[in-house]
Structure 1
């Protein structure tokens, strides 16, 4: 894999955050932004499937696990920025919102969008991950063997 520039890493990060965001939460955060610019479709939202691959033991040989539905789209703002989105499932509105934020993050509105949309989503995702880890830790069982005194 080629080395990514800092800008590419940043875009990869926010696109991942938008793709994994709960659609209802993304909609609420975007509604709070008020008026958003119009965009033209380069590729309207379309639903398809992708093959999901896994690895034996997480590191072993790759194998085809199964198919997953995916929605993708691309749009262009009137100012010329292009936004893309790939989201799991069949939610065309979620893909449209993610592509619009992707395009807007390439404009001078990026700091506003980072504070109003991306940072809350990232904070909520970290909290959900921590809650899952704590719930799993609560079910942990430590097994031990008692020494019987025999050699």
Structure 2
């Protein structure tokens, strides 16, 4: 009975959960577009300079206030939607889920990269970071196609 009541409540709030999911996807992806660009500018700053310290703080705030909380909420609302709709067995959803997992891994990589930058380690070139900046856009395009078109 409790499980049925929970499912009924989730179904009633489906549109709100979906809206929240989309809102936090926008926040997360927007931040993921910004972060590699911040890293490019950070790497161009003189090590130990006031400008570099400002970039370290901007990056920390972007990660801790916008990107990571948004990603966690995307996961929470997305998993709730998958539960409500029973999408787990749909091929399009499995492909989307895989891309979101990879994008979450990229997110973790970029957070780690920022921590290295803050310590003065600069493992990637500005060109490599500019290329990495394209990953969220490609992932977003693929996800939107999978969700809207459902090609399989």
Q: TM-score range by the shorter chain?
A: under 0.3
TM-score (norm 2): 0.27
TM-score (norm 1): 0.27
Q: Which has the higher contact order (CA 8 A, sep 6+)?
A: 2
More helix per residue: 2
More strand per residue: 1
Q: Which has the larger radius of gyration?
A: 1
